[in-house]
Amino acid sequence: MKIGILSRNAKLYSTRRLIEACQERDHQVEVIDALRCYMNINSDKPSIHAKGQDLSGFDAIIPRIGASVTFYGCAVLRQFEMMGVFPVNESVAITRSRDKLRSLQLLSRKGVGMPITGFASKPDDIDDLLEMIGGAPVVIKLLEGTQGIGVVLAETRKAAESVIEAFLGLRANIMVQEYIKEAGGADIRCFVIGDKVIAAMKRQGAEGEFRSNLHRGGSASLVRITPEERRTAVLAAKVMGLRVAGVDLLRSQRGPLVMEVNSSPGLEGIEQATGKDIAGMIIQYIESTAKPQRTRTSGKG
C-alpha cells in the first residue's frame, strides 16, 4: 500500500514511529506537510500538489494535524477524501473533536459521562454560571487551549470570578467546569482503534499541579481500566466519528467522566508506558479497513 502521513515534522516521535511501522510491513510511505500543499478543486478530477508534484495514488492517509493548522490541514485531508483516499480519521470528525464546546454538547446528547460544564459570553452571567456548576473550586479552560495551556484552577468563588472576568475582558472563549477533586490530579488516556481500547495509561500531574499533561511535567504509568471505562472511551470516540482517538477520562464518584477526545493522540507516552507497538496496530487497522471510497462523508461537511 501507499500510505501518506499528514505531518509537519517527520522527526516527531509519533510520525517517526508510524514511518517505521509502515516500512516494517513493506508499505510505501511518504510524509506530507499539509501547509505546503495546494489544491485543484474541480468536479472532474480534484488533485493535490506539493512542490510541483502531484500527490495522487495514495491508498490511505494518516492525519497528524496540529491544532494550530486545523483549518487548512482538514481542507487538505478533505481533498484527499474527495480523491477517494481512505483517511484513518475523517476531516469532519477531526473538526468536530477540535471544537471543545461542540464535542461536549455531542457527548452530552449521547449520555456520555462528563464534568458539569458552563459556557457564557458576558460578565454579568458569572454568578448564575458558577451556581449551575456547583460553586468553587472550578476549572476554567480556554476553548482554543492545548496540552494544558490556558487551563486554570480557581479554588475560591472570588478567584473564579476574577479569572472569568479577565478572560471575558480579553474576549476569549472559555468553558467553566466542575473540579473533580477525587481524581487527585490524575487522568486516564485510553487509546482507541476501531471499536476497541487497545492500550491505556494513567497520567499523574507533578506535585502541586492539577493538570496531568505529560507536557506539563506529568508522569505516565500502566493502568488497568474497568469495563465501564472501556465502554465510555469507545462510545466517546464513536460519537466524534473517530476511528483512532485518545480519550481522556477522569475517575469520579459517579463513574468515568470524559474530559477530551483527541484526534491526533501522541504515541510516545502510551508506547513507553504500556510497551505496546501502537504504531504497528494503527497500520494493521489500515490494512484490514482501508478501501477506496470508504470515507463515510466523501469529503462533505
Residues of the binding site for ATP: 141, 178-179, 187, 211-213
What per-residue confidence (pLDDT) applies to 136?
Answer: 85
At 301 the pLDDT is 44
One of 3.30.460.10, 2.102.10.10, 3.40.630.30, 3.30.1490.20 is the CATH number of 117-179, namely: 3.30.1490.20
Cell numbers representing residue 295 in the block: 470515507
pLDDT score, position 300: 44
Binding residues for Mg(2+): 248, 260, 262
pLDDT at 299: 41
Q: What is the enclosing helix (H) or strand (E) of 78?
A: helix 70-82
Question: Do the strands 138-142 and 174-178 form a parallel or antiparallel pair, or are they unpaired?
Answer: antiparallel
**Could you tell me the fold of the domain covering 182-284?**
D-amino Acid Aminotransferase; Chain A, domain 1 (3.30.470)
Place of cell 505516565: 220
CATH T-level assignment (fold) for domain 2-95: Rossmann fold (3.40.50)
Is residue 249 within 8 A of residue 257, CB to CB? The reply is yes
Q: Annotated binding site for Mn(2+), which residues?
A: 248, 260, 262
Q: What is the residue extent of each domain of the chain?
A: 2-95, 117-179, 182-284
β-pair type (196-204, 219-222) = antiparallel
- Residues that constitute the known binding site: 141, 178-179, 187, 211-213, 248, 260, 262
Q: Which residues lie below 8 Å from residue 262, measured CB to CB, with a gap of 6+?
A: 97, 245, 246, 247, 248
For the chain, list residues with pLDDT below 70: 123, 145-148, 206-217, 292-301
Give me the residues paired with residue 63 across strands.
6
Q: What is the pLDDT of residue 145?
A: 60
pLDDT digits (tens, 9 = 90+) for 5-23: 999 999 999 999 999 999 9
- DSSP assignment of 161-229, as one string? HHHHHHHHHTT--EEEEE--GGGTTEEEEEEEETTEEEEEEEEEPPTT-----GGGT-EEEE-PPPHHH
Give the span between the Cα atoms of 162 and 190, in whole angstroms.
Answer: 34
